Structures are given as structure tokens and as C-alpha cells.
Amino acid sequence: MAGESLTSSEYVQHHLQNWQLSLGKGSFWTLNLDTLLISIVLGIIFLALMYLTARKATSDVPGAFQNFIELFCEWIDNSVAENYHHKRSFVTPLAITIFVWVLLMNFMDLIPVDLAGSVISLFTGHYDAYFRLVPTTDPNLTFGLSITVFLLIIVFNFKSKGGLGVVKEIFTAPFGIWLFPVNVALRIIDEFVKPLSLSLRLYGNLFAGELIFILIALLPWWIQWTLGGIWAIFHILIIFIQAFVFMMLTVVYLNMAQDKH
């Protein structure tokens, strides 16, 4: 086990602590630098790969990677078409971006938990540097993603129905104008549950997976790789499912926002 000088409790707490920058003594605003760094780097890698693939795309015999990208985009577009019954020119690229970006961030959970500390120690000389590799185990990031979806839902509502249409729907659906207090209460609950469920589902599943990897790292070295390998194989399924669920719920919520009730 890396970090033998730490107790088991200290080891777990160390790996669950973000590399942070406070914007002032006693300030409420604190940046999780590892979350920002890893998510931005993965986003740049994703955009660069897509850009290079598009630049080299050919209508003749495509290469293996172009074939893979085309099949992947077609699969996402078909999934969107089944759940979004309006023009897809914006929503399909959004769905591709969400799925790939969340998937890449989730995949960081498969990197051995002590690797980041070892790499950082090469530059700083301190093993005890805080650094978390999985951005989606940070609730700040998952809430940030879900709030973006929430804002898109509001925009799609107003774009589809107009201001008066949205107000009318809030006060009259689903029980009619005479029960408008109930309608308004249900609408508020419904709208705020969407981003809350999106963020907590992604965060909870990835945080649990990360915690199990950390606990496995506390075991003797001769059993770590066996249990870690088994859990990693199972966790790959979770990684894909959570990225897909986040994408599909976003698509469904945007479709609901455009439907007239």
C-alpha cells in the first residue's frame, strides 16, 4: 500500500480531498483545481480528436477511426430521435458532447488511486499532495452540468411556448386554473428535481466506485490486483451506464420542455 505512514482513516480522507485554491482567507469561494484541470484537459482532447477526424474525413473508403466515429454518432442520433420529437440539429451534438465528456471523466476512475500522488510527488517532492483524478466524484462539477441542463430546459420552454404560454402552463397544468396553487407547487418541485436527480445520480455512483477502489488499495498487495481487477471490470459497466443515463435524461427533459401540455 502506498503511503504507509498514513493510518487507514487518514489514507481514505487524503484520497477524498481535492486540490483546492481559496480565493481569499475565510472566503466562501474555493476552486477545486484538480476537477477544473482534468475536466478541461479531457474536454480539449475530445474536441481535438473530433476536429482532426472531421478534417481527415473522406467520402471514399474511410479509415477505421472514421468508421468508429460515424457509427458512434449515428447511434447517438438514433437514440436522440427515439426520445426527442423535434428538430435535432442542436440536441444531437449536445448529446454527443455530454456522453463523451462524462464518459471520459468517468473513465479516470480506472486509473490506480495512488498514481496521481506518485506523479505529483515527482514534481513537488511531497507524496501528501491532494489530487483527485475523477471530476465526476466532485458534486460541484455534476451540479454544474445539471444546472446547465436546467437553464437549457428554461430556454427551450420559452422558445417553444413563449412567455405567456409558459405562464399559462405553470398555472393550469395538470389540474386546471382552479387548482393553480397545486399546479404551481408541482411545477416548482418538478423543475428543481430534474437537475438535482441528474447531479446526485452521477456523483453518487462515481463516488461509490472511487471509494471502493480506495478501500481495495488498503488491502495487502497480493490481493489488491485481483479484487481491483474484478471491480474495475464491473465498474466499466457503471461508467458507461451513468454517461448514457445523463445524456438520455437531458434529451428527455428537453423534449418535455418543448412539448405543449
State the catalytic residues. 197, 201, 205
User: Exposure string (b/e) for 47-72, b if CB count within 10 Å is 16 or more?
Assistant: eeebeebeeeeeeeeeeeeeeebeee
Compute the distance between CA of residue 244 and CA of residue 204 in angstroms, rounded to an integer: 15
CB 88 within 8 A of CB 77: yes
Compute the distance between CA of residue 95 and CA of residue 88 in angstroms, rounded to an integer: 10
CB 113 within 8 A of CB 231: no
3-state class percentages of the chain: helix first, strand second, coil last, to nearest 5 = 75, 0, 20
User: How far lies 80's CA from each of 19, 133, 234, in Å?
Assistant: 37, 30, 27
Q: Give the phi and the psi of residue 30 in degrees, each rounded to 5.
A: -135, 130
219: amino acid identity, one letter: L
Compute the distance between CA of residue 110 and CA of residue 103 in angstroms, rounded to an integer: 12
